[in-house]
A and B are shown apart, each in its own frame.
Chain A
């Protein structure tokens, strides 16, 4: 029931938000998101660490078709629900500094999106999963399309088309799988769409081979994996900062999570067949994203490409099909969420003060803003994967996983750390250090509320970096059971 509450509360809050105007809407939205976080934390307290679905709720949804409203959490789901519930209030707080038109609608869409995201991470029924998967898309389309930059209508159109085409393929795959299942538990329908029934299908290898691409299309676009990524840099750049944070911080994880939950155990033979190809694509993405990031002048675009590079590594870890790789992906989802939201916030903070995010126009900002410099540096080093920070744990495990699969691939993927250091430290150096620019004199340091937003993020950078076991323990059981499903056949 708690899971249902986690789903319904942001939705209810989004609807109620229409009664608030202006500043009151911001505060109400933040309050609602904080309550959601408390609920999620309470779920974590109730959660007993074993790998079975917990806090689940199962009710007929479309009884005549055997489709259930079945939600529940295992460790992996909980991890991502916690990430969502933690990041949404931060993202809301981050948008306080900007004045958006129709604020109540803006914040309502963010909360609405939270419902979709939490639904994706908790759904245990294929069609429910698809339902939430698309629900998460609609608000972000409007957030980016209505409040975005100059090219928003063209860019968001491309984004919408890419993602919806991918997810329609996934839907087709699910429909096919659905007709392979046995009768529903309620006895009314000849088939059912439970996750567990999908796991128990023993489909021939040729079928799994094409089903793999149908389902993977949705995840590959969402992550995105090279060469399905072309929507991503433009969308990240044109979307308003809060939407970019939602896209990169949480929505990207839908792809990784979906792969782990709805692809690997469902079509294991298909995965085995295409594993090599996907790993190569992921590694191309890692290098490609990093090299393009080096050339970027726009900070937001630079981080977008770095995000492409990092998600490539996560995908590679997942497709190494090793425990260490999947565990690495789980923890890196958290770490990347924290880091990238923090980085986008800093970029937004700089842009609000100077009116630009072009690296050549900036420089010497540290003289006026020592606190901002420190925060920026911590998040940056987390992204670069310096030991003791969160990025190190994730990337180390991921690379170890890829290395276990194939040493050469591990070596090539490892270049990401070097290239990451190159483009991120260069950006830091030229923006914060370096000769003074026209903006140096008027630049101001972080305000109290901005700091209040960054402190929890920075605390998490170190928490995950120093005590990763808190989180690794949560996902361990889920990862083991996913791998068991994969090797079982």
Chain B
């Protein structure tokens, strides 16, 4: 709760800092704020479940852990906005404030106990994202991205809301645990069609936010058009918060066998489709950014496996899998988008060939990109490997061997497109016009090194964070 209040206040403060017309101050201020929020959030660790707003929000270890991921992601992402500071971007204070506010939404999504809070959280997060997607105002693609994201997003928000209304109609409550109880009451049996249609509509709504197929279609275009800095935020924070919310919904509102009989096959089908579309789609891309967009779809697929391997708790293999995977994925994705942003700022291109010869001009960028790609591909020594390992283990434990075999085949496909940047970086020479080193400030170098280090630490000592839930 402290982190929500603090973030809202600090977001406002940040807006006022904008009046000082001093961009230099904004970045360190925003980073300091996030660092403070990260620390304050940890105070609630192991403090037991605390409820707020008549039980509409619950802060427990689950929400603290996921809040930690989203705040940390935003914190390590901020250094890559340095170009805005340098270019004297007029609206920088607003961007930062929107980021802070959207984090408030993300935190509400991971700690809601009431569907209203879920809805508010998703909207707070999404509205900020609609604006940020279009923040490159003079770029047609950015405008297109914002419009597409907004129209689709608004539509699926409607779907989500409709689902909630139906669930409320069937159970008479918005509270997660009470929905869970109401589902079990035999007298409600005649209302089950309404309940389950509502439930499925909610799955669609959240599925859209985390870009799970078949509701992923907006992802490549929106990710490509959105300025890279915000794409990174979109593909990490939104996904992490979305999956935490997803798990919470299923565990607390629909754990009943009868409900599971409906959502489990639905999610399994979505999972297979997402893995297939994400991985096969990424193979065909020529732009690294679009490849990363499809790869983010495919990672939604891996995370869905953890939901399919449902154990009815906010702890244990399934929750731990989502937690570790989201963390490893967020760090690697920020690193990948960070490098991509620096390269495209300097060389003006986002395709694979734009990375050519990076090993010679910028060994650090080359190294970090390599670590990020290996982590996303799930190669050992990186956090991504243990993310996949935990999720696959959870699925095998629940008897989904066939699903794991399919996912393993899909990750073999993914190696093809994750190796392409590495091949470009190390094995192709740069064109004459792009042989200049990419500009990286020492601050950004430090951030990149930290991200690579975190990825490797997660890959060597996963015990540090695995199993804390």
Binding site for B on A (CB under 8 A): 60-65, 127, 130-131, 134-135, 138, 142, 145-146, 152-153, 156-157, 160-161, 164-165, 168-169, 171-172, 175-176, 178-179
B323 to chain A, nearest CB (A): 12
Contact at B379–A134, with CB atoms within 8 Å? Answer: yes
Contact residues in B for A160 (Cβ distance below 8 Å): 415, 419
Q: Is B99 an interface residue (CB 8 A)?
A: no
Inter-chain contacts of A64 with B (CB < 8 A): 320, 463, 466-467
Number of interface residues of B (CB under 8 A): 32
With A and B bound together, what is the CA distance between A124 and B168 in angstroms? 55
Instruction: List residues of chain A with CB within 8 A of the CB of B14.
Output: none
Contact check, B463 vs A176: say whether CB atoms are below 8 A apart: no
B426 touches A146 (CB 8 A): yes
Contact with A along B407-425 (1 / 0, CB 8 A): 0100110011001000100
Give chain B's interface residues, CB within 8 Å of chain A: 320, 359, 374, 379-381, 385-386, 389-390, 392-393, 396-397, 401, 404-405, 408, 411-412, 415-416, 419, 423, 426-428, 461-463, 466-467
Please name the residue on chain A nearest to B393 by beta carbon: A175
Closest residue of B by beta carbon distance from A145: B427
Per a CB cutoff under 8 Å, which of A60, A138, A168, A178 touches B412? A168
Residue numbers in A under 8 Å from B396 (CB-CB): 175-176, 179
A189's nearest neighbour on chain B, judged by CB, is B467
Identify the interface centre among A65, A157, A160, A178: most chain B CB within 10 Å of its CB. Answer: A65
Interface of B (DSSP majority class): helix
| Contact with A157, one of B411, B423, B428 (Cβ below 8 angstroms) | B423
Instruction: Give 30 pairs: A residue, B residue, CB < 8 Å, sorted on A.
Output: A60-B463, A61-B463, A62-B463, A64-B463, A127-B389, A130-B380, A131-B381, A134-B380, A134-B385, A135-B381, A138-B374, A138-B379, A145-B423, A145-B426, A146-B359, A153-B423, A156-B427, A157-B423, A160-B419, A161-B416, A164-B412, A164-B415, A168-B411, A169-B408, A171-B389, A171-B408, A172-B404, A172-B405, A178-B393, A179-B397
Contacts of A131 in B (CB 8 A): 380-381
CB distance from B260 to the nearest CB of A (A): 22
Q: How far is the CA of A138 from the CA of B385 in the complex (A)?
A: 14
For residue B424, which residue of chain A has the nearest CB? A153
Query: Looking across the interface, which residue of chain A has its beta carbon closest to that of B396?
Result: A175
Which residues on the B side are within 8 Å of A156 (C-beta)? 427
Q: How far is the CA of A145 from the CA of B428 in the complex (A)?
A: 10
Q: Note all chain A residues with C-beta closer than 8 A to B379.
A: 134, 138, 164
> In whole angstroms, how far apart are the Cα atoms of A183 and B390 in the complex?
17
* Extra A-B contacts (17), CB below 8 Å, given A152-B427, A178-B393: A61-B461, A62-B386, A62-B467, A63-B463, A65-B390, A134-B379, A142-B426, A145-B426, A146-B426, A153-B427, A153-B428, A156-B427, A169-B408, A172-B405, A172-B408, A175-B389, A179-B393
- How far does the Cβ of A352 sit from chain B's closest Cβ, in whole Å? 23
Count chain A CB atoms within 10 A of each CB in B320, B380, B393, B466 and give the residue with the most: B380
* Complex Cα gap A73–B11 (Å): 58
Chain A residues near B374 (CB-CB < 8 A): 138
